[in-house]
Structure 1
Amino acid sequence: MKKLLIKRAGMKKSIIIMLVSMMTLVFLFTSDGRAEWKYGIGTGLFLLNIEGDMGVHTNAAGSVDIPVDLDSSDIKDLMETAYGFGGYATDGTWMIRGSFAYMDLEGTSVRALPAGSSLIATLGFTATGAELTVGYPVYSDQAFTVSVDGGLRYTKHELSTAITITGNPSQFRELDNSWIDVLLGSTLSVPLADAWTWNTSANAGFGGSEGTYLGSTGVTWNFYKNWSGTLYYKYTAVEFEEGGRGTPGWYLYDVDESGLGITILYNF
């Protein structure tokens, strides 16, 4: 119960920080009364797939790599909690975007080791992410608009493990790692019809991670008055390593995250 309360307190703190950051940035940009700003806020559903490697250090087996290959149905089975929201502010030139996401997974993995032994790992994995970007158009005509984007992405991973190796007592570990990447990328917007727009964006992030690369493409439909929906595909390659292999605090997250998503926004 104590751990649950601590986790919820940390989650609430992350949400508050994200909201304050978003409101501060929006206020700084929209304080010019001469500009007419428009806003949007909403949420959605994302069918996440994860493939790659995670790694932790154990006293009995040293540094252990754990292969991860989870499709959206596996994620659903492991999911304890997940939610997110996002929004934007624009004056027709500048585009400010912000998003927040939280996911809590729990599951068990079994891996064969040399000499016929096996490793059983019960993992609890919590991921918190927040992103703020500012975009500015560098080219625009009737056919399309190209914008340059810059911003920050915050990521936090909380990992709890219970590892049992045949013939050895169980080991329990808790790791907490967070990092911030500076983002640089671009967005291509193509109007398809009066109520339809195709958007494609890509960015690279460096600083806290060894490198994070994101690409997404989707179609937005303004289907009713102030409401719009976007169907999109997103791919993210993440590589983060804390400490060195063989050290007690070693943690590796080297995965590809991808999937289809849909968002619904209220625009005002």
Structure 2
Amino acid sequence: MTIAITGATGQLGRLVLAGLAARLPGLPVIALARDPAADPGVPVRLFDYDRPETLTPALAGVQTLLLISGNQIGQRKAQHRAVIEAAQAAGVGRIVYTSVLHADRSILSLAGEHRETEAMLAASGLSVTVLRNGWYHENYLGSVPAALTHGALVGSAGQGRIAGAARADYAAAAVEALLGQGHEGQVYEMAGAPAYTLADLAAEISEQTGRDIPYVDLPPADYAQVLVKAGLPAPLAEAIAGYDTAAAQGALDGSPDTLQALIGRPATPLAEAVRAALV
């Protein structure tokens, strides 16, 4: 069986490649990337979502494709459609897709493209496994340096519970979905535990650094302005503030049972993730 990984040189893709190599050394794996000069340790083929002519040739001989959702919000429906059509043309038998937690009902702004992609996959005639990944701890841990610099963690999530897990946990689930038995046709809702609030995250940072780092909850527009002042483009800043607004309404909460069952262990706890971020 030959497996191909889209976005293979990205943060999640590299972890999946490492997990596949650890579990089945010598397994035929192909990295699909915009930059074929990248060296992820396996053969690389040019695979550019915005150049459809590169897609079908890159999938020659591939039986299973891990479609890691693209990072260009607003472009992903068209990009994913092109990948699915290329997979059909190349004779790929199965796609494993990284979606978002509760994609069918989530109020997250980014969930719409995932819903549309899931619908396209369902209509494709291919065998499909959907991994509805919850929030990555890393999505919030990127704010730790700024919190330490300014003496506060800011956001707009209120008391919203975040059932996060580490990126490595979701990569391990992808490896199991690719190599394990009985995953065809399944939709997995995956989250970590225990769920935490941003106030809990601030308290954990405080505990581990010995400093008083409070959580300051801001109105979404004010939080977006903070992010713009920190150098983020306005559309991205508004999107991030919107994710917090959705978190306040429960969009990032979920059960840890499925992820734990897939990876055979509890997801990485927040304290461990914070410790790694502070190194």
TM-score, length of structure 2 as denominator length: 0.22
Q: Greater strand percent: which structure?
A: 1
TM-score, length of structure 1 as denominator length: 0.22
Bigger radius of gyration among the two: 1
